[in-house]
């Protein structure tokens, strides 16, 4: 209601919300940090689905990946809106990757920008789409829940029949409420004591097309994909690797070779899984570092391991079967 999607006043309107609007600071920090917590929960949710074999419910898994893509798009659009230095240059760098598409790439970039550089038209349309996409996201979440109801959820034992399942209420309802209370405590600590901890200091400087930040980085939840993107010297291949870092998740149901759904009873699969989690955290850390030795070299190795583990986790069933039988 108070934000103005105009490149001349967008930056000041955000600070007007924080300083002058009643409880505007609270709404702004809940919104900004809420996005970070949303991604934390989604990453944990995806990891849990991989560990317990939830990806074997193909329609449910694909709908979840679609939700993740829409989330990433919504978060990127929202990051541009404060019109700080990192917002502006992040938008410039990310949208420029479309220019790698042969023949039509440059025209697509100019079409997205609404001009020959990131400016007022870009900000206006990004604001519109940032408002629209959450409605599409909500619809996808409803579809995801319907598919979950039809297919049923995964479980630590990997059971597929309906006879040994536990009802959601009251057992899991109480468990989820317990988790919600703990998450709310951490969320409150971030909002009231460290509201800008997950942001970038450069975004407190108004966007200036004539001054490039020393080190351009996206928000922390994109850093793993950014690290994968940066190590590829070719722009088009880098863009393909960026998309594949998420799209490769869709292949997991078709690579599954184990007789067991869950990793609970697959020792080799467990090792691959926890190495994958460690590697994901390492990629996130490498994504915020400068493109220099040894971080660049580590990014190359870590990116290769990222894709390797994605294929090895479901395929590890064959190795586990040989070890057990």
Partnered with residue 181 across adjacent β-strands are none
Of residues 2, 48, 106, 149, which has the active-site annotation? Answer: 149
Of residues 175, 178, 215, 259, which has the active-site annotation? Answer: 175
CA–centroid distance for 269 within its chain? 24
Of residues 5, 13, 144, 219, which has the active-site annotation? Answer: 219
Of residues 153, 235, 260, 308, which has the active-site annotation? Answer: 153
Judge whether 144 counts as a catalytic residue.
no
Judge whether 175 counts as a catalytic residue.
yes
What is the spatial distance between Cα 30 and Cα 37, in angstroms, rounded to a whole number?
Answer: 10
Structure tokens at 98: 């479309």
Of residues 20, 48, 176, 184, which has the active-site annotation? Answer: 176
Helix (H), strand (E) counts: the chain: 13, 0
Judge whether 219 counts as a catalytic residue.
yes
- Specify the DSSP class assigned to residue 196: T
What is the spatial distance between Cα 128 and Cα 94, in angstroms, rounded to a whole number?
Answer: 18
What is the SS3 assignment for 68? helix
Structure tokens at 170: 């009251």
Please give the backbone phi and psi of residue 206, each rounded to the nearest 5 degrees, phi first. -65, 145
HSE value, Cβ hemisphere, 13 Å, CA-based, for 149: 6
Judge whether 176 counts as a catalytic residue.
yes
Active site residues: 149, 153, 175-176, 219
């Amino acid at each position: 209601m108070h934000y103005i999607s105009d490149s001349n006043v967008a930056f000041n309107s955000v600070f007007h919300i924080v300083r002058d609007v009643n409880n505007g600071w609270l709404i702004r920090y809940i919104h900004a940090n809420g996005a970070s917590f949303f991604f934390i929960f989604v990453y944990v949710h995806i990891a849990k689905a991989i560990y317990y074999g939830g990806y074997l419910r193909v329609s449910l898994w694909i709908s979840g990946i679609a939700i993740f893509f829409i989330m990433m798009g919504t978060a990127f659009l929202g990051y541009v809106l404060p019109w700080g230095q990192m917002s502006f240059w992040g938008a410039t760098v990310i949208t420029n990757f479309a220019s790698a598409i042969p023949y039509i790439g440059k025209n697509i970039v100019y079409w997205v920008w609404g001009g020959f550089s990131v400016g007022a038209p870009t900000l206006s349309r990004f604001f519109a789409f940032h408002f629209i996409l959450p409605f599409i996201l909500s619809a996808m979440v409803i579809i995801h829940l319907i598919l979950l109801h039809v297919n049923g959820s995964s479980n630590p034992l990997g059971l597929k029949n309906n006879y040994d399942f536990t009802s959601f209420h009251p057992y899991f309802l109480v468990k989820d409420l317990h988790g919600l209370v703990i998450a709310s405590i951490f969320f409150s600590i971030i909002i009231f004591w460290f509201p800008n901890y997950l942001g970038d200091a450069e975004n407190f400087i108004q966007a200036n097309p004539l001054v490039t930040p020393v080190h351009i980085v996206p928000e922390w939840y994109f850093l793993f994909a950014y690290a994968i993107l940066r190590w590829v010297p070719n722009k088009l291949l880098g863009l393909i690797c960026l998309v594949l870092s998420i799209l490769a998740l869709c292949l997991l149901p078709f690579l599954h070779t184990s007789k067991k759904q869950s990793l609970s009873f697959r020792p080799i699969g467990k090792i691959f899984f926890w190495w994958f989690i460690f590697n994901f955290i390492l990629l996130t850390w490498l994504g915020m570092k400068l493109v220099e030795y040894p971080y660049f070299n580590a990014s190359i190795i870590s990116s290769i391991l990222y894709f390797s583990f994605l294929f090895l986790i479901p395929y590890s069933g064959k190795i586990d079967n040989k070890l057990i039988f």
